[in-house]
A and B are shown apart, each in its own frame.
Chain A
Amino acid sequence: MTAFLLNLATLAAISGILASTLNFIVGYAGIFSVAHAVFFGLGAYGGAQVALLLVPDPFLACFVAALIAGGLSLCLALPALRVRGEYFVAASLGLQMVAATLFAELKPLTGGIGGLVGIPRPEIFGTVVPVLPLALAALALILFLTARLQRGAFGRTLQSIRDADSAAEALGKNVNAAKTLAVAFACAGAGVAGALYALHLSFINVESFTLDQSIQIMAMVIIGGTGTLWGPLVGAIMLLSLPAVLSFIPFIPPTEVGAVQQIIYGLAMTLLMIFRPAGLVGDQTKGRSTS
């Protein structure tokens, strides 16, 4: 049981990083990206290659992953500067599709659909260490930085951009710089999550970085509560642990196990959104229909 719970906790912490970083651009800056899995993937491939080709040092892997994902976040920042709302969703969707295809095709770097196998487990000073404490430390750091940034001038600038970017610009805010920085921070965080994911699973392929994954991360943010510090983390734990809990239901016939679990899972999500429209942690005065 312990190993099962530790594995779930590790994946929850990694998902928590993903959800928290996406929340930073969705909840605070109003940039609705459905391409977060791209940066998760970039970090995973970057971190995996460091571990495979150089040394399985988790800090180096995370640093390289953050650098790659944060650096290439311009791919997302550029459309974010030019379009907004549903038009940006379409732009990020395109980026997601292009990236997933590249992940499948750049075989020397990504292993193609076959993926990268045999990624060594992380080592610090020659000792193999579990990913969980590293993931928890990274999550804590990202939550701390998010809280600090949110309360400071940068956070207020982002929130003003989210609410009315023209007004923010008229008040002298550098909208382009703020958006670019927000996207870079969120994508670098997603990259770190990717490196930790690769080191934890020892195997990655494109199937973990598709549009489905991006939507799953977005669902974590919305279900937990957008624009809140703890909401995305709660959403990540909820979305990850619910299928695991459902797998303990004893009376489902083996051939029906998947269908029954998916139905219960879907129903739970629907009911949750009906009764907690602003998410589990969000302000419940928001999100309800006024009609």
Chain B
Amino acid sequence: MPGPKIGRRGALAAGLALPFIRPAIAQTAEPYVMGSLFPMSGPSAEFGEAFTRGAQVALQHIAADNLLRRPVRLQSEDSQALPQPSVVGMNKLISVDRAHWVLVSWTATSKAVAPIGDRAKTIMVNGGAVGPDLAGLSPYFWNVIALAHLEVQVMVPFLVRQRNARRVALIYVDDPLGDGILGQLRGTLPRHGGELVGSFSVPRAAQQFGPVVARVRQTRPDAVYVASFGAQNAQIVKALRDNGVTQTICSYSAFGIDSLRTMPEAEGALFTSQKLDLTGAHALTSRFATDFRARFGQPPLVYHANYYNAAYLFGLLAKQVETAGGTVNGDSLRAAMLATRKFDLVGGEGEFDEQGNMLTQMQVNEIRGQQFVAIG
């Protein structure tokens, strides 16, 4: 007797039904949904993976501590670091997954989704993009990373006093991030006895930097500040070293990724980041470092910590709302944040301003022996 046959149309129908299986299961547990909107494919996927890992450890801790009455589910969407896929993903997170909290990154992505989150009153937390124009995008858009212009204020005094590097040349990507850092260097260097001896903009898509490096050499700098992001940072560092620039290379927190840590040409490079002393006595930081190592077999980096904080903050705020008997939504979470302001997070205490920007202690790191070493 012939068995049941599944024809092509049957297989197609089954395939079309697949998307609806998960919501049916999800409804029984009713978890809080934390969305993430990171580049998970393409040249920036390395960042998306790092961001996600940080959030995963935070959710592990929230669950282990029974911090909330309901579980938290992480729903990832691929932003491709582009505006249109980000908008599609954000709309899905809000209207299909009913996300209570969305982790975002990348400046263009953040700007594209901010109006959607604002209209839906959904909290969006950025822990990766550092463009100065991200401050104040919406009352529901917060930053748990120091925006780039604040990082310059830490690096400049260190360069001048600790490294006696007074002549600084800047290679910067031609966008709000680069413009912001250029403006800060112009203002901050003279105040500390330094001088911006040259500034060279590079297009966002540029991959060849030989001519720019030649012009940098002509300025005879003591240090070269690199203000780009993604794979371009590594390409600029390699071009500088390949073309005989031996002076100190410095940058902001975008240097805190594995591809630069393990790159021989980046040895000795300095960069600023939020304070992260993994060997110190701070309990949450130690716990984060231990559990991150156990889960992923590597020590955590600054981006991992930022998105841990971005995700863990949801646990802290939602707990406050639950304890007060309220409903967890954008307004109640924002009210809880404004009422508390200071939170114990990885790296130490973080304090939020009225706009939702977190102010925290900063440190200067050096890439030394393929490790990030805090030196100031």
Taking Cβ atoms with an 8 Å cutoff, the residues of A that contact B are 1-4, 7-8, 11, 101, 104-105, 112-115, 117-118, 201-205, 207-208, 243-245, 247-250, 254-259, 261-262
Contacts and interface: CB of A to CB of B under 8 A. Distances in A.
A53 B369 CA distance: 54
A250 B76 CA distance: 10
Contacts of B133: 114, 117
B88 A204 contact: no
Given A11-B88, A113-B175, A114-B175, A257 B111 contact: no
A115 B19 contact: no
Interface stretch (B92-100, B238-246, B281-289): B92-100
B45 interface: yes
Contacts of A256: 40
A258 B42 contact: yes
Interface string B100-118: 0000000110011011000
B82 interface: yes
Contact of B18 (A2, A115, A249): A249
Interface stretch (B48-56, B149-157, B251-259, B317-325): B48-56
A207 B88 contact: no
B83 A201 contact: yes
Nearest to B91: A7
Ordered nearest first, which 8 A-B pairs have the shortest CB separation? A258-B40, A258-B41, A248-B19, A113-B175, A3-B95, A250-B22, A258-B78, A254-B76
A207 B175 CA distance: 12
Interface string B7-22: 0000000000011111
Report which residue of B42, B56, B74, B80 has the largest number of chain A beta carbons within 10 angstroms of its beta carbon. Answer: B80
Interface string B49-89: 10011001000000000000000001011101011110111
Contact of B76 (A114, A202, A257): A257
Interface of B: 18-22, 36, 39-42, 45, 48-49, 52-53, 56, 74, 76-78, 80, 82-85, 87-89, 91-92, 94-96, 107-108, 111-112, 114-115, 131, 133, 137, 173-176, 179, 203-204
B203 A101 contact: yes
Given A202-B115, A205-B108, A250 B87 contact: no
A208 B84 contact: yes
B91 A3 contact: yes
A186 to B, nearest CB: 21
Contact of B96 (A4, A203, A207, A262): A4
Contacts of A8: 88, 91
A259 B175 contact: no
B2 to A, nearest CB: 27
Contacts of B92: 4, 244, 247
A1 B174 contact: no
Nearest to B19: A248
Contact of A203 (B42, B112, B174, B175): B112
A254 B36 contact: yes
B40 A259 contact: yes
Contacts of A244: 88, 92
Given A7-B88, A113-B108, A203-B112, 6 more contacts: A4-B92, A104-B203, A114-B107, A201-B87, A205-B83, A259-B40
Contacts of B56: 254
Contact of A248 (B22, B40, B95, B107): B22
Contacts of B107: 114
A208 B109 CA distance: 11
Given A207-B83, A245-B19, A248-B22, A114 B176 contact: yes
A247 B22 contact: no
B32 to A, nearest CB: 16
A249 B75 CA distance: 11
Nearest to B16: A245
